[in-house]
Amino acid sequence: MKFNNLTSEQEDVIVHKATEAPFTGEYNDFFNEGTYVCRRCSNPLFSSTAKFHFGCGWPSFDDHFPGSVRRVSDTDGARTEIICAQCNGHLGHVFEGENMTAKNTRHCVNSLSIQFIPKHK
């Protein structure tokens, strides 16, 4: 599999499972129409229609494209990590039961892990 070139910050998050500081990511308050793909392998992950404002400092999505994201137990045992199903790159964490959307799920994603592709009109 061919991987995209990453900055050292992107590699820290995607490969080494770091977390970007809250409220610093380029997609935190970004709501254009399009698709978010894995920055490492370009796998389509989330539609902009699934993005919602949660106020936690990271982009939040209540759904992902089928088969695009996998859940794994986080090393701390308290959270569930989400990774790209194609390249295993770290995306963030998933939370359920917060009652913020009808789907009752929040994928809390690092902006450094994703890239936005605008919808062609």
Q: Kindly list the catalytic residues.
A: 108
CA–CA distances in Å: residue 5 to residues 31, 41, 43: 25, 9, 14
Polymer length in residues for the chain:
121
CA–CA distances in Å: residue 85 to residues 19, 48, 64, 71, 119: 19, 19, 11, 9, 23
